[in-house]
Amino acid sequence: MRMDTFCGSVLLIVNVASRCVFTSQYKQLQELYSKYRNQGFTILGFPCNQFGDQEPGSETEIQSFCSLTYDVTFPMFSKIEVNGASGDPIFVYLKKQAKGFLGSEAIKWNFTKFLVGRDGQVLGRYAPTKNPKSLSKSIEKAIMSL
């Protein structure tokens, strides 16, 4: 799947994992996607195994888990790394645009979320503990921005 497919969309980009304490957020992410997808919004899931070996499965196993357990229909990408020398370019960009706690660029855990506007600008970075549904107002504001 190519990123240019999503040009002009409001995005919520999330590093995800199937065996994380926050895995149940898939349900809320899917609810957000279902609610706003017809308004130019999408969620992009990027499986990551850099935190406590919480995403050890193959791409097929990950897709199956997400689909069968949480009815995930938003786009899921191949497993990536978000930190370090092998960090995926999209996460390198996101981390530079929206730093974390105390100005750190490093992602601390799975289910870190980045809200990106239609113009590609990062509008916000949210900790793994942040409830996805609590982002509704920020998503709506981004959707309404032209």
Helix, strand, coil abundance in the chain, percent, nearest 5? 40, 20, 45
Amino acid at position 123, single letter: L
Copy the structure tokens of residue 140.
Answer: 């709506």
As a whole number of angstroms, the distance between CA 16 and CA 7 comes to: 22
20 classed as catalytic: yes
Q: Which of 7, 20, 48, 66 is catalytic?
A: 20
Nearest partner of 15 among 102, 104, 121, 125, judged by Cα: 125
Q: Which residues are catalytic?
A: 20
